[in-house]
Amino acid sequence: MKLRRSLWLGTFCLPFLSPLAAVAQETPSSILVLDGSGSMWGQIDGKAKITIAQEVVGDLLNTLPAETHLGLTVYGHREKGNCRDIQTVVAPGANTRGAIADAVNRIKPKGKTPLSDAVRAAAEELRYTEDKATVILVSDGRETCVADPCEVARTLEETGVDLTVHVVGFDVSDDPTALGQLQCLADETGGQFVTADNADQLSAALTTIAETPAAPPAPSPVETSFAALDGEGGSQMQSGVTWRITGPDGYRSDGTGVFTLPLLPGDYTATAIRDADEVEVSGTFTVVTDSQRVVLTLPVITPKATVTGPETAYQGQTIDVSWDGPGEQGDFVSVHTVNGDVWAINSADIAKGNPVKLRMPAQPGTYELRYQVKRDREVVARTPITILASDISFDAPGQAEIGSSIKIDWIGPANQGDFISVHKVGGDVWAINSVDTAEGSPVTLRMPGEPGPYELRYQLAEDRAVIYTQPIEITDALITLTHPAEAQIGTVIEVDWKGPANPGDFISVHKPGGDVWAINSADTAQGSPVKLRMPSEPGPYEIRYQLAEDRKVVFTQPIDITAATVTLDFPEQAEIGQVIDITWSGPSNQGDFISVKEVGGDVWGINSRDTAEGSPLKLRMPHKPGDYEIRYQLAEEREIILRKPIKIVQAEVAITVPAQAEIGETIDVTWSGPGNQGDFISVKEAGGDVWGINSRDVAEGSPLKLRMPHKPGDYEIRYQLAEERGIIHRVPITIVDAQVSITVPAQAEIGQTIDVTWDGPGNQGDFLSVKEAGGDVWGINSRDVGEGSPLKLRMPHKPGDYEIRYQLAEERGIIHRVPITIIGTHVDLQAPSDAKAGQNALIAWEGPGNQGDFISIKEVGGDTWGIHSSAVNDGGPISLRMPDQPGQYELRYQLGEERAVIHRVPITVNP
């Protein structure tokens, strides 16, 4: 609950507690926190987000009264990669509108997004622990530094008198993490959270927040909240504290942790007792008409901690630091200048282990290692450390050619992330080229593409600090290019060259004065000469030598590209899908091709053939009549350099079939037509797509045989071209049911082979099958109708209701079925109760005696694969060999159908 009034209470008799104070403001102050990070250069509707923000803030300021107390804090606007780039540009006060507008308009986004610490800095500027304070944050992204927005908001809410953070999420709708962080900042402090995706929404959001009215005063009795802080400026204690509240007329109430009481106006005394050590503090307060907050500060229980590291380390070195301390989540070990503030140069969370690895500063000098607690970054242990300068040297040439790669032998600290670089003399820390020292010594480093004085540097990973430099002179390279003075369009010429031949250098062709992006190029790694394809348009061009380094052009030489002489000779017209001969002449560059396309169509041909096939070449015509053109096209950008018209006409086609056929029947199709390679005759439902049910290639001649579908209905026989399966002729055919009959006994025993008498179409591949009633098309057993009628069909090995089916070869279509019941059968095995291991036993049996049935012996409960077995085909009794190992076994009668066991008796095998 947001309280409009706060009281900080302490005791008058203990010197480490704050004195009693009631803080109120005549004119509350606010600070606008504006995102100046690099992401604000992103655009919405073609306009940079920073520009939108500047315009909207300017308009808003014009609507505010001059006496409004408002300040401005900006982050990420001065340095790249610096999480401490936070600046209160305009302190809060009256008549600040002009100064804020000027400051906002000067923002040039550069850096990161430390939004949590920016809100904290704004709150501290507003003295949020003493006065009512409002912060308005405008951000276009998530936190990119180490702070947790939710944790920061909770800490500010717990330690503030009456702090409210309103948040505008600008262009963050697609970022769930950013939305969650910004929402949390507002929710934890009782503020508003509004999103805006464009200039109008941003204006509306800021106006809404600016017009947010103050919370109305609470009714009487007055809601009074109580909280205890764990040390001056410490966190609010949610538990571990017991309260005693006394007041007028002997009023007494107790509570624990953080709680709220409805109190009538009057004078009261609050006492907080810490459970851990029974230390207590008291303070008096007066309840008037507004809800209020009573805060007592308990003395800190100073945690004991140590931090241990080497006495010395080299600049940028990563060292092991051992620690002993509270070990609370978020505590960290850090390095600082001696007596520096709580903001570390570098730090490492203790959650990373013990010892932790910590990178040392880039500059030599005296520093200290610290153990800091997350709660308020309090330093609870420290120890000194001296940072020494590293011994560094380079063994490198004093000069090198532009774009060349040189070897540098080096000695240096070799910290993780350190690198060796090349720069303009006196340039900033951002290298032209660099190489990581993790590659060892020597390293290979590419030189710049322009001559002049440069320097080689050793740079630390830590802040890219430059700790060693050595000069180097970059000189021009000797380069020559030799090639024909002219060449035809699209040809590949040879270019002899001399030059630095750095890795990645290349020879290229361009329009004179064109930019660095080549029309075509060839890597110098190919050696000299290189092969280079010429452009597809005639005119003046230039051959260039370009460095891999920034594609720098270091040498040019002119060349004229001339038109090519091309001829095409072919018939004036052709039938759809026809393959014609085209006689041609032309440059025949590698990859050139002849194509066919509608008149005026784009460069992507319908069909094409490579000129490498010679002249004449064969080209298939389109499958639709119309006006087309035959083209000569270069491999270079598919450029069309000659085109001639051709008319594509309909082909004469005829198909003769019977008016109707039975399902699954194979009919003769008599046809005449173009007979192109790959053309085919197909059958399909009337009006169906180009994918036939069944088809045959016209190469089979006329007539050809075509199988009909397995379902009755209206179909059509088609002539289809190989070219896109184009349908150029179709005739109707009706597919009717076939006359089928099946005669079988009403029932049969399991595994029995029965005679099935049938009459039906008898198509090649048709078959009779047995399956459970209503089962799918995959039969249990089946026989091809080519075996004649009757045919023999084995029955399943399980009793039940089944059906005998006539199925077409075409998709296994079921066109007739009759029911049959499968029943069990009488089986008996007569054998001695025991037998001798390894000897034969005589076994009499009664049973179905189907072909393939057998009697076997197996361990009791074993699978269907017997140890020994004997077929029943020869009648009974049978002689069966006993297992070699004594034990309990069983004799089984098994069907040939899936080896099904349908009877078993026990037998003991003795030694």
Do 439 and 586 belong together in one domain? Answer: no
Same domain, 56 and 153: yes
21 in any annotated domain: no
pLDDT, average across residues 241-265 = 89
Q: How far is CA 749 from CA 176, 767, 781, 827, 895, in A?
A: 70, 22, 15, 12, 11
pLDDT tens digits along 179-194: 888 889 889 888 888 8
| Alpha-helical segments (H) within 44-160 | 49-63, 97-105, 115-125, 149-159
Which CATH number characterizes residue 122's domain?
Answer: 3.40.50.410
- Same domain for 205 and 110: yes
Total domains in the fold of the chain: 9
Give tens-digit pLDDT for 722-781: 888 889 999 999 999 889 999 999 999 998 899 999 998 888 889 999 999 988 989 899
Is residue 17 pLDDT above 50, yes or no? no
Q: Is 234 a member of any domain?
A: yes
Whether residue 5 lies inside any domain: the answer is no
Q: Which range of residues forms the domain containing residue 229? A: 222-298
Task: Return d(Cα 304, Cα 189) in angstroms, integer.
Answer: 33
Of 427, 314, 410, 308, nearest to 362 (Cα)? 314
Q: Provide the token pair at 817.
A: 């079925």
**Shared-domain flag, residues 800 and 718:** no
For residue 26, pLDDT beyond 70: no
Q: Which residues pair with 286 in a beta bridge?
A: 267
Instruction: Indicate whether 355 and 439 sit together in one domain.
Output: no
Which H or E run includes 350? none
Is residue 706's pLDDT more than 50?
yes
Q: Are residues 190 and 42 in the same domain?
A: yes
User: In whole numbers, what is the pLDDT of the chain averaged over residues?
Assistant: 88
Given 271, 298, 325, which residue is the final one in a domain?
298
Instruction: Tell which residue, 118, 163, 151, has the closest CA to residue 137.
Output: 118
d(CA 766, CA 381): 92
Same domain for 261 and 279: yes
What CATH number corresponds to the domain at position 329?
A: 2.60.40.1930
Pair 96, 49 in one domain: yes
Q: CA 704, CA 569: separation in Å to the nearest integer?
A: 36
Could you count the other beta carbons within 10 Å of the beta carbon of residue 888?
11
SS3 state at 50 = helix
Look at residue 301 and give its three-state secondary structure. Answer: coil
Q: Which residues contact 771 (CB under 8 A, 6 or more apart)?
A: 778, 779, 780, 802, 803, 805
Residue 21 has pLDDT above 50, yes or no: no
Would the pLDDT of 38 be above 90?
no
Please give the torsion angle defined by the CA atoms of residues 77, 79, 85 and 90, in that order, rounded to the nearest 10 degrees: -40
Q: Say whether both 750 and 803 belong to one domain.
A: yes
- Position 307, amino acid: V
- CA 483 to chain CA centroid, Å, is 48
Mean pLDDT of 109-121: 87
- Least confident stretch, 329-338, 428-437, 547-556, 871-880: 871-880
468 lies in the same domain as 530: no
**Mean pLDDT across 317-343:** 91
Domain assignment present for residue 6? The answer is: no
As a whole number of angstroms, the distance between CA 754 and CA 751 comes to 9
DSSP 8-class letter at 883: P
The type of residue at 653 is V
Q: Is residue 513 part of a domain?
A: yes
- Residue 723 within a domain: yes
> What stretches of 94-215 adopt beta strand conformation (E)?
132-139, 162-170, 193-196
Q: Could you give the CA distance from residue 682 to residue 693 in angstroms, rounded to a whole number?
A: 7
Same-domain status, 196 and 86: yes
Q: Give the three-state DSSP class for 812.
A: helix
CA 287 – CA 277 distance, rounded (Å) = 30
Dump the DSSP string for 552-611: -EEEEEEEEEE----EEE--SEEETT-EEEEEEES---TT-EEEEEETT--SS-SEEEEG
Place 684 in a pLDDT band, splitting at 50, 70 and 90: very high
Output the pLDDT for position 406.
92
Q: Which residues pair with 368 in a beta bridge?
A: 336, 384
pLDDT (tens digit per residue) in 777-804: 898 999 999 999 999 999 998 899 999 9
Chosen domain end from 649, 675, 705: 649
CA neighbor of 589 nearest in space, from 528, 518, 535: 535
Interval 591-599 mean pLDDT = 94
Of 746, 734, 738, the C-alpha closest to 822 is 746
Identify the domain boundary among 520, 535, 562: 562
Q: Which of 521, 515, 546 is nearest to 535 (CA)?
A: 521
Instruction: Average the pLDDT over each of 193-202, 540-549, 636-645 and give the range with the smallest value.
Output: 193-202
- pTM assigned to the model: 0.42
Q: Return the CATH number at 723.
A: 2.60.40.10
Q: Is the pLDDT of residue 871 over 50?
A: yes
Query: Both 844 and 732 in a single domain?
Result: no
Do the domain assignments include residue 17? Answer: no
Residue 16 in domain: no
Model confidence over 127-151: pLDDT tens digits?
Answer: 888 888 899 988 888 888 878 889 9
